[in-house]
């Protein structure tokens, strides 16, 4: 017989996930007066570990954009084997511009409920009521004998049973594991270790990816054109926040980081990326129109590997790329 969870406000596990410590703490404080088992998850590299350790009955997504909330939740289903079997409800906090979109997502079962919360809420108790309602629904289902785990978001399938890694897979680094988890090369790794020759996967090398963090459209197009002819997938981000999202989604092999960004400095964005263990090895080249000593020093302290001073030409850019992407230098 399946054991009932304790879904009372004093015992029910609540997890607040956010990319901002301040936002998570704000939401946590609003909930802690009535719910006594609230935990926060604010470091992307520990997202799966936090969920698996806490096993929340209610997951509150307190991200500043709906896109970030969706990416986080889909990431859980792609990287965790526990989330598929953990009964939980999802409450997402949104702004007024995303109300109809998140309504549609809730109607489709991607999330369970939403609260109009950002930038500042005039109805603070609403989030508490949403959590209360989630626990009541779960209690009613369990009392009725319904212990069905929550369905995965659309387009995300359940993970396959673990198997012993082949020698080649055992040598795969963290970046490649992240790409496999996001769906790339799924056909190759879902196949048995021994295959008939006709079904063997292609031996074509993995394409490299370079993230260009630049808010000027003209500069984005210029750098993109300068990379024409190279076996590289070029990604773009216009802000520091978008850069971090691209890092988690695409796991690029190198970053070109503009010093001036609309939401933060390139130095601070570099420091944030380098603080995440999975990205510590990714070289970041600062792109700047000047080379003042303080910018150079601050960038190097933040973890930058080198600089590109504007304006630069195709040969200079290609030389830098080959310097920091050995696989490209051999192509």
Closest by Cα among 302, 277, 240 to 20: 240
Pairwise CA distance, residues 238 & 256, whole Å? 12
The predicted pLDDT at position 189 comes to 37
CATH number of 208-329: 3.40.50.2300
Q: CB neighbours (10 Å) of residue 3?
A: 7
Poorest-pLDDT segment among 17-31, 44-58, 181-195, 196-210: 181-195
Cα–Cα distance list, 231 to 169, 227, 250, 321 (Å): 23, 9, 16, 11
Question: If you search the block for the tokens 């196949």, which residue do you land on?
Answer: 191
Instruction: Give the model confidence (pLDDT) of 125-135 as tens digits.
Output: 899 999 999 99
130 and 7 Cβ atoms separated by less than 8 Å: no
Which residues of the chain form CATH 3.40.50.2300?
14-143, 208-329
Instruction: Give the model confidence (pLDDT) of 91-121 as tens digits.
Output: 999 988 889 999 988 888 889 999 998 876 6
pTM summary value? 0.51
210 and 233 Cβ atoms separated by less than 8 Å: yes
Pairwise CA distance, residues 230 & 250, whole Å? 18
Pairwise CA distance, residues 314 & 22, whole Å? 42
CATH assignment of 14-143, given 2.60.120.10, 1.10.10.10, 3.40.50.2020, 3.40.50.2300?
A: 3.40.50.2300
pLDDT reading at 84 higher than 90: no
Pairwise CA distance, residues 120 & 93, whole Å? 11
Instruction: Give the model confidence (pLDDT) of 181-220 as tens digits.
Output: 444 443 333 333 334 444 444 444 568 899 999 999 998 9
Extract the tokens encoding 232. 């590289």
The predicted pLDDT at position 329 comes to 59
């Amino acid at each position: 017989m399946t054991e009932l969870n304790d879904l009372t406000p004093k015992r029910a596990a609540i997890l607040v996930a956010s990319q901002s410590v301040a936002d998570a703490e704000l939401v946590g404080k609003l909930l802690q007066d009535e719910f006594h088992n609230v935990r926060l998850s604010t470091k992307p590299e520990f997202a799966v570990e936090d969920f698996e350790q806490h096993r929340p009955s209610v997951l509150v997504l307190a991200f500043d954009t709906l896109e970030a909330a969706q990416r986080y939740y889909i990431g859980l289903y792609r990287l965790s084997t526990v989330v598929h079997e953990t009964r939980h409800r999802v409450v997402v906090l949104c702004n007024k511009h995303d109300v109809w979109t998140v309504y549609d997502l809730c109607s489709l079962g991607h999330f369970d409920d939403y609260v109009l919360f950002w930038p500042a809420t005039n109805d603070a108790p609403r989030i508490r009521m949403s959590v209360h309602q989630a626990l009541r629904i779960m209690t009613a289902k369990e009392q009725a004998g319904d212990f069905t785990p929550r369905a995965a978001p659309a387009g995300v399938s359940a993970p396959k049973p673990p198997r012993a890694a082949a020698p080649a897979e055992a040598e795969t680094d963290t970046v490649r594991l992240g790409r496999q988890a996001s769906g790339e090369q799924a056909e190759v790794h879902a196949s048995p270790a021994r295959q008939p020759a006709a079904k063997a996967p292609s031996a074509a090398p993995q394409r490299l990816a370079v993230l260009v963090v630049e808010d000027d459209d003209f500069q984005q197009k210029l750098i993109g054109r300068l990379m024409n002819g190279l076996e590289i997938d070029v990604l773009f981000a216009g802000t520091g926040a978008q850069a971090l999202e691209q890092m988690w989604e695409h796991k690029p092999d190198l970053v070109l980081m503009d010093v001036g960004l609309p939401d933060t400095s390139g130095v601070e964005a570099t420091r944030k990326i380098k603080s995440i263990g999975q990205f510590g090895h990714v070289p970041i080249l600062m792109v700047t129109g000047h080379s003042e000593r303080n910018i150079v020093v601050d960038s190097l302290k933040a973890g930058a590997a080198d600089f590109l001073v504007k304006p630069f030409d195709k040969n200079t850019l290609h030389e830098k790329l080959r310097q920091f992407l050995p696989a490209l230098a051999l192509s």
